[in-house]
Every structure is written in C-alpha cells, then in structure tokens.
Amino acid sequence: MTVLRHRADFLRAARALRRGTDGMLLQARHRDDGDPTIRVGYTCSKKIGNAVARNRAKRRLRAVVAEALLPGAKPGWDYVLIGRPGATIDREFQALKSDLIYALRKIHAQT
C-alpha cells in the first residue's frame, strides 16, 4: 500500500466511483495499469477547520485505513478518503471503521 502524492491521481479518483458515509467520503478507481499496488490518498478541505483540525482529521483517516482497508480493498485500485466537517473528528473510531468497510463494500459491488 502506498500513498497518493500527485494532484493528477486525486483528480482521476474524483471522476470515478464514490460513496458517502456519515464520517467520510470515499472515492475509488481501478487503474488498469497492471500494477497490483493499492494506493490511498487523504484530503480535508478548510471546511473542516484550521490546520490543526485538518491534520487531526487526516490522522484519524490514516488510522482507520491501517485497521480496516486491507480486508476490503482490491489490488490495482486507488482510494481517496475525504474528511467531512464536524463528523470525521467527532465520530467514534469504531463508527469510522464501519463507515469505511461499508463504503468499500458498496463501491466494489458496483463493479
């Protein structure tokens, strides 16, 4: 699993599949490049709050991915997790994990 760093990768994921939950928005796309690496990106807008709040939201998203992404993720896919104002920081951690598992299941059911 690697981290998305380039803006173009985030933009391609934004045009692909998406699933919103109470705690986050998940965007996902199949790359079709033959590389089995799972890539993950994180983003939080200024609607979340100041830099401290945005970083806290991203840390929570990283922790959720570390615990819940691999069982539901597929090789060769890019995933972008987007924090939601008021929800990503305040939501219980177990609820965030179940949000991610639900979103992954729904996205892969569409393909």
Instruction: Report pLDDT digits (tens) over 44-64.
Output: 999 999 999 999 999 999 999
Query: CB atoms < 10 A from the CB of 15, how many?
Result: 9
The residue among 33, 46, 47 whose CA lies nearest residue 75 is: 33
Task: Give the angle subtended at the CA of 71 by the CAs of 98 and 63, to the nearest 5°.
Answer: 55
Chain mean position to CA 17: 12
Q: Rounded to an integer, what distance in angstroms lies between the CA atom of residue 71 and that of residue 39?
A: 14
- What is the dotted CATH code of the domain comprising 2-110? 3.30.230.10
Taking residues 11-36, what's their average pLDDT?
A: 95
Assess whether pLDDT exceeds 90 at residue 36.
Answer: yes
Give the per-residue pLDDT at 110: 86
Q: What residues does each domain of the chain span?
A: 2-110
Assess whether pLDDT exceeds 90 at residue 111.
Answer: no
Instruction: Report pLDDT digits (tens) over 63-99.
Output: 999 999 999 999 999 999 999 998 999 999 999 999 9
Following DSSP, what letter does each residue of 85-97 receive, concatenated? TTTTTTS-HHHHH
Q: Which residues of 66-97 are buried (b: 16+ CB within 10 A; e: fewer)?
A: eebbeeebeebbbbbbbbbeebbbebeeeebb
- The owner of tokens 């939501």 is 91
